[in-house]
Amino acid sequence: MFRPAFAVALLLAPTIWFTTPAHAASDQQVLNRIEQLHGHSDGFEDPFFTLKDAMQRSDARDIADLGEYPLTVNANGESYEIQSADDFVENFDTLVTPETRRAVARAKLGSVIVNSDGVGIADGAVWLSAICRDNSCNDTYWAMISINN
C-alpha cells in the first residue's frame, strides 16, 4: 500500500541530511587553515573553548584575561579602546551584550572565520589572533583582539 507521508519523507530525506551551512568546515580543516595563515594552530583550541565557556557563564574576568590590550570593542554604536583587563571587567555589561555572549557560547570550531586578520567567532562578534612574544614570532599566544556587538 502506498503511503503519501512515507513518500514525502523519502523525498525530503536527502535535503535534511545534507543541509549544512555553506561555510561550515570540519574542525581539522579550520585548524589547517589557521596553521596555514597564522601558524601555531596547536595553541588555538584552549583559548577558543575557554572563551566560549566564559561567555556562557558571563565571567567578565575570564573573558578579560583573554584580551590583548588595548582591546577594541564596538558597542552601542561607539568604538572603545579598553586599556586594561580591569577596565574591561568594570564595564563588562556595557561592552559585551547578552546576544554576543550567547552567540560566542554557541559557536562551533567548524564555523569560525579564518582570514589574515585572525579568527572570527560567531560571525565576527569576537576576533582572536596569534600575538607574537618576540620579533621572530616563533613564540606566540592567542588573544582576543576585538569585540563587535
For the stretch 89-111, pLDDT in tens is 999 999 999 999 999 999 999 99
Residue holding cell 613564540? 139
In a domain, 14, yes or no: no
Give all strands of the β-sheet with 126-132 in edge-to-edge order.
Answer: 78-82, 67-75, 140-148, 126-132, 118-121, 113-115
In a domain, 115, yes or no: yes
In a domain, 102, yes or no: yes
In a domain, 53, yes or no: yes
Collect contacts of 84-87 with beta carbons under 8 A, ≥24 apart.
85/61
In a domain, 83, yes or no: yes
In a domain, 81, yes or no: yes
For the stretch 53-77, pLDDT in tens is 999 999 999 999 999 999 999 998 9
pTM over the 0.85 mark:
no
In a domain, 92, yes or no: yes
CA distance 63 to 85: 9
In a domain, 113, yes or no: yes
Q: How many domains does the chain have?
A: 1
Q: In which domain, by residue range, is 131 found?
A: 25-148
Residue 96 is classified by DSSP as S
